[in-house]
């Protein structure tokens, strides 16, 4: 009888460990211990920690793509309401665990992108996908008359991605979601008015 694969458990539990401790701070031993599997299971399923890191990025972002679809790309909701819902979802997510974990994408961008070109490329792709969804939402807001016709949707979408990541970092450092709330307030009261 074949032995059950531990791959899924390593990914799920390993994602939690890396999100909590960071890519550099989470050893393979920590990951397999959290998954409750033998250390050899890791090397049976992943060629390297880098390969594992790429897979947990995709696992983490798979939840994010559902959120993008349900908020920014949800044409049944008024465009600026979608944007507010997207920021609120992020604020709630980073507010878990007293904002200690922050955003895994930002953590990987800070820690792993200097040491791994494949991880750096994947982070860039994910941020580009988020920016495209933001641009889609802002363009819908222009078409709906919520924003002026000459509104620069691409630049503002890039600004939102960068600003949210900065707000996530401050929230993590301050152990307080207030930087994200401040960003949302200023975005809606100054930039999108």
Determine the Cα angle at 67 with ends 137 and 93, to 5°: 115
- 61 and 102 both lie in a single domain: yes
- Please name the residue that has the structure tokens 């990914």: 11
> pTM of the prediction?
0.93
- 165 and 181 both lie in a single domain: yes
Please report the pLDDT score of residue 54 as a whole number.
Answer: 97
Joined together, the tokens standing for residue 103 give 């955003």
pLDDT at residue 1 greater than cutoff 70: no
- 25 and 96 both lie in a single domain: no
Owning domain of residue 127: 48-191
106 and 168 Cβ atoms separated by less than 8 Å? yes
- Name, in order, each residue with C-beta under 8 angstroms of 17's C-beta and a sequence gap of 6 or more: 26, 30, 31, 34
Using one digit for the tens of pLDDT, what is the confidence trace for 53-90? 999 999 999 989 999 999 999 999 999 999 999 999 99
Q: Compute the average pLDDT of residues 18-35.
A: 94
- 118 and 100 both lie in a single domain: yes
- 32 and 84 both lie in a single domain: no
Going by C-alpha positions, the residue among 187, 191, 193 that lies closest to residue 84 is 187
Q: How far is Cα 32 from Cα 188, in angstroms, rounded to an integer?
A: 44
- 58 and 13 both lie in a single domain: no
Please report the pLDDT score of residue 102 as a whole number.
Answer: 87
Please report the pLDDT score of residue 94 as a whole number.
Answer: 87
- 20 and 61 both lie in a single domain: no
Please report the pLDDT score of residue 5 as a whole number.
Answer: 78
CATH number of domain containing 165 = 1.10.357.10
- 7 and 91 both lie in a single domain: no
- 90 and 183 both lie in a single domain: yes
Domain total for the chain?
A: 2
Using one digit for the tens of pLDDT, what is the confidence trace for 104-125? 999 999 988 888 999 999 999 9
CATH number of domain containing 25 = 1.10.10.60
pLDDT at residue 4 greater than cutoff 80: no
């Amino acid at each position: 009888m074949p032995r059950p694969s531990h791959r899924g458990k390593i990914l799920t539990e390993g994602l939690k460990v890396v999100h909590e401790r960071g890519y550099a701070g989470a050893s393979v031993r920590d990951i397999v211990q959290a998954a409750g599997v033998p250390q050899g299971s890791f090397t049976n399923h992943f060629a390297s920690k880098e390969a594992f890191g790429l897979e947990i990025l995709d696992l983490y972002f798979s939840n994010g793509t559902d959120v993008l679809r349900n908020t920014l790309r949800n044409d049944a909701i008024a465009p600026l309401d979608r944007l507010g819902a997207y920021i609120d979802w992020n604020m709630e997510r980073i507010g878990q665990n007293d904002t200690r974990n922050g955003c895994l994408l930002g953590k990987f961008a800070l820690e792993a992108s200097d040491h791994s070109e494949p991880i750096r490329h994947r982070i860039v792709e994910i941020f580009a996908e988020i920016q495209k969804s933001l641009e889609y939402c802002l363009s819908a807001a222009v078409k709906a008359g919520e924003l002026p016709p000459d509104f620069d949707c691409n630049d503002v979408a890039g600004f939102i991605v960068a600003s949210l990541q900065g707000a996530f970092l401050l929230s993590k450092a301050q152990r307080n979601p207030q930087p994200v709330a401040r960003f949302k307030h200023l975005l809606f009261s100054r930039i999108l008015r």
